[in-house]
Amino acid sequence: MNRIAVLTSGGDAPGMNAAIRAVVRASLYKEIEIFGIMRGYEGLIDGDIKQMVSRDVSNIIQRGGTILKSARSKRFTTKEGRLQAYNNLKEKNIDGLIVIGGNGTFTGAKIFGTEFDIKVVGIPGTIDNDLYGTDYTIGYDTAINTVVSAIDNIRDTATAHNRLFFIEVMGRDAGFLALRSGIAGGAEAILIPEKPTHLENLHLYLENGFKKPKSSGIILVAEGDHEGGAYEIAKKVRTDFENYDVRVTVLGHIQRGGRPSAFDRVTASKMGVEAVEALTNKQKNIMIGVKCGQSQYVSFDLAIKGRKPIDDQLYNILSILNY
């Protein structure tokens, strides 16, 4: 393994720069030439590839986003696009590729690594934390802290005006972000895709919970909730509970930005070094996962198709904490 390349793809996540830094420094430590690919798979197809040196990753560990930029690539879904990408790597004698991203990124990486004689290793970077085979993904911890900070701020105004707030967070297919940030933020209810949302139960809570009385309420909703998201649920609640002053806040892309937490910086650094180690050990088509604090190799197929379970114990204690 003499030359490897690294790219970031899909949605950005805080800590990606820390992972890039670790990949670059670990490669140079092993006397491997390292190349950065701009704009993910799009840049790979366009040949937007540049060799990197240690100073290229100086002073980036604390920065959100990704210095390599990111993009979604329709061309990479075609055989022609992937062939062009492969030819660009071969032209520079690159025989190993590290991709940092989520489910979509790894789906493309799996196909690419199967079609051509290129070793591909993945680093999980997504705030959704929905990849099977790893306890944490890069960006998840930072996003939790961002959401909790928003909940704290919103609760101030909710309390001042005796309002019920529905706060929508990211999580189209997974509720990990909503669940953990909801517990940390003291939310009165959490609605996630993994658990059927029964409006009857929510109504029962609203009827009983605010008789204590409570001066305010926070309902956290993952965007992929079965009832249609925060606005749809709030609309139904306004109809059935006209005496409630209901408000909706959608946090949106603010959850992806910001300085990565110390936990994300360390996790990204560890995974970056492990990814380089995996390539030098002739691994291919695998993701670097962390289970119970230990690194492990997880096949792309399992990481993509495996269904990561929600923490039922954490979900069930919500009713106890709001007693």
| 125 vs 178: CA distance, rounded Å | 17
pLDDT, residue 212, reads 56
- pLDDT of amino acid 189: 86
CA distance 238 to 245: 8
What would the pLDDT profile of 29-74 be if each residue is shown by its tens digit?
A: 999 999 999 999 999 999 999 999 999 999 999 999 999 999 889 9
CB 40 within 8 A of CB 291: no
* DSSP bridge partners of 221: 168, 191
- Do 168 and 250 form a contact (C-beta atoms < 8 A)? yes
pLDDT band with cut points at 50, 70 and 90 for residue 211? low
Given a contact cutoff of 8 angstroms between Cβ atoms, the answer to whether 268 and 15 are in contact is yes
Average pLDDT over residues 298-321: 90
149: its two tokens:
């900070």
140-256: CATH topology: Rossmann fold (3.40.50)
pLDDT in tens, 106-122: 999 999 999 999 999 99
Task: Reply yes or no on domain 3-139+260-305 having CATH 3.40.50.450.
Answer: yes
Token pair, residue 42, equals 């799009």
Place of tokens 């290229």: 56
Q: Distance between CA atoms of 54 and 108, rounded to whole angstroms?
A: 28
Which two structure tokens, joined as six digits, stand for 310? Answer: 């929600």
205 compared with 217, residue with greater pLDDT: 217
Which of the four pLDDT bands, split at 50, 70 and 90, describes residue 213?
A: low
Q: Which residues are catalytic?
A: 128
Domain boundaries defined on the chain: 3-139+260-305, 140-256
**Lowest-confidence pick of 21-30, 48-57, 134-143, 223-232:** 223-232
Angle at which helices 312-321 and 176-184 pack, to 10 degrees?
Answer: 30
- Residue-by-residue DSSP string for 79-116: HHHHHHHHHHHHHTT--EEEEEE-HHHHHHHHHHHHHS
20-to-80, 216, 310 alpha-carbon distances in Å: 28, 43, 29
Q: What percent of the chain has pLDDT over 90?
A: 71
Asked if the domains at 3-139+260-305 and 140-256 fall in one CATH topology, the answer is yes
